[in-house]
C-alpha cells in the first residue's frame, strides 16, 4: 500500500506560521481527495481541511473546519505530488498530532471517509 509521509511539523510560537507537507511514497500515486486531520491526546480526532483533487467540476475546491477557516490553507503543488497545509497564524489550540489523509471513499469534503492515512506529525504551539 502506498504510504503518506508528513513533514514540516515542530514547535512554533503562537501567532507564527508553519507549513506541513504530505507526499505519497510512490510518484505515480493519485487521489481524488486529500486532507488533514488532527488529534490531541485524550480528545477525539478532528477533521481540519480537505482539497478535491479529482477531475470533476469540484476539482480544486477546498474545505475547512470552522476553527481553522481563514487561518489555514490546503493546497496541492503543481506536480500534484505534494499537498500542503499552511497554518497562519497558529494558536496554542492548534497543538496536536496532524495526519495526512487521501482517497475519499464517497466524495471529497472535510469529513470525508478517507482510506489512506499517514503516520502523523506533531505540531506544538507555545504561548
Residues 26-37 have pLDDT tens digits of: 988 889 999 999
Q: Of how many residues is the chain composed?
A: 127
Task: Report helix, strand or coil for 52.
Answer: strand
Cβ atoms of residues 126 and 52 within 8 Å: no
Task: Kindly report, residue by residue over 41-90, the tens digit of the pLDDT.
Answer: 999 999 999 999 998 899 999 999 999 999 999 999 878 789 999 999 99
Task: Kindly report, residue by residue over 6-45, the tens digit of the pLDDT.
Answer: 999 999 999 999 999 999 999 888 899 999 999 999 999 9
Could you give the CA distance from residue 104 to residue 101 in angstroms, rounded to a whole number?
Answer: 8
Q: Provide the CB-side half-sphere exposure for 30 (13 A, CA).
A: 8
Amino acid at each position: 500500500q502506498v504510504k503518506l509521509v508528513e513533514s514540516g511539523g515542530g514547535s512554533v510560537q503562537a501567532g507564527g506560521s508553519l507549513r506541513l507537507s504530505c507526499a505519497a511514497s510512490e510518484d505515480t500515486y493519485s487521489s481524488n481527495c486529500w486532507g488533514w486531520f488532527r488529534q490531541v491526546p485524550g480528545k477525539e480526532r478532528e477533521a481540519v481541511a480537505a482539497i478535491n483533487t479529482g477531475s470533476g467540476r469540484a476539482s480544486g475546491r477546498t474545505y475547512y473546519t470552522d476553527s481553522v477557516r481563514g487561518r489555514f490553507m490546503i493546497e496541492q503543488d503543481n506536480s500534484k505530488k505534494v499537498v500542503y497545509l499552511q497554518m497562519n497564524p497558529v494558536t496554542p489550540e492548534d497543538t496536536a498530532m496532524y495526519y495526512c489523509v487521501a482517497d475519499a471513499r464517497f466524495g471529497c469534503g472535510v469529513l470525508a471517509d478517507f482510506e489512506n492515512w499517514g503516520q502523523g506529525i506533531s505540531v506544538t504551539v507555545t504561548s
